[in-house]
Copies of this chain bind each other. A is one copy, B any other.
Amino acid sequence: MNRSVKTVLLTGFEPFGGDSDNPSWQAVQALHGHQIAGHRVVTRLLPVAFSKSLRALRAALNDSSPAVVICVGQAGGRAQISLERVAINVDDARIPDNAGKQPVDVPVIDNGPAAYFSTLPIKNQLLALREAGIPAEISQSAGTYVCNHVFYGLMHTLRNKKLRAGFIHIPYSPAQASLHPGAASMSIEQVSQALRICVRVALDQRQDQAIAAGAEC
């Protein structure tokens, strides 16, 4: 890879839990090779497996030396783009991963800190998404499954680096939601558009604004 070209790394996941597609990968893949604010988008598919996912992520980081990293995962049941604020140092899987492993109450990284905050400007991203008419919210929990595992592993790997990195959860695609009565969805096109906006805002070096987007309790 030509190291002189500045890049942004986006990752998505392979399908899991019986689904045949994963919109996180569909939406990410659609941006592969695109130029955003002078940076080329590099995309990478991650396995839904606790052990292999971080190895694949670290390889992708080494290969692309990105200026910004956004890992994307699916959170079936959520209705809006979820900008994750924090990754916690615990795996607690309700179902086995695609490799058959189901860790319960074990740390992502032994002796790692309890949590890492996203270094993405999530409030600026929230504002930009809403201005573009895309439903979005701040989330205080990325869960305790492979998504949080990857998010924590990402922030731990980059803990001494300056680049902005974090995690975004997305709703079911319409095709998935058509199999889940009552479930919310978002079109792949809109998710891709949202990710493009989030990358652009992350590349802008302005400081994150403090706008209230928390909870009432």
Contacts and interface: CB of A to CB of B under 8 A. Distances in A.
Interface stretch (A38-46, A54-62, A69-77): A69-77
Interface stretch (A4-12, A29-37, A128-136): A128-136
Contacts of A93: 212, 214
A207 to B, nearest CB: 11
A184 interface: yes
Would you call the interface of chain A mostly helix, strand, loop, or mixed?
loop
A193 to B, nearest CB: 10
A17 B94 contact: no
Contacts of A80: 177, 181-183, 185
A118 B30 CA distance: 41
Nearest to A177: B135
Contact of A88 (B94, B115, B133, B189): B115
Contacts of A137: 181-182
Interface in A152-195: 169, 171, 174-175, 177-187, 189-190
B175 A133 contact: yes
A215 B145 contact: yes
Contact of A184 (B95, B106, B178, B184): B184
Nearest to A144: B214
Given A93-B214, A134-B174, 13 more contacts: A76-B216, A104-B214, A105-B123, A105-B208, A132-B178, A133-B175, A135-B178, A140-B140, A140-B144, A141-B141, A145-B217, A171-B184, A185-B186
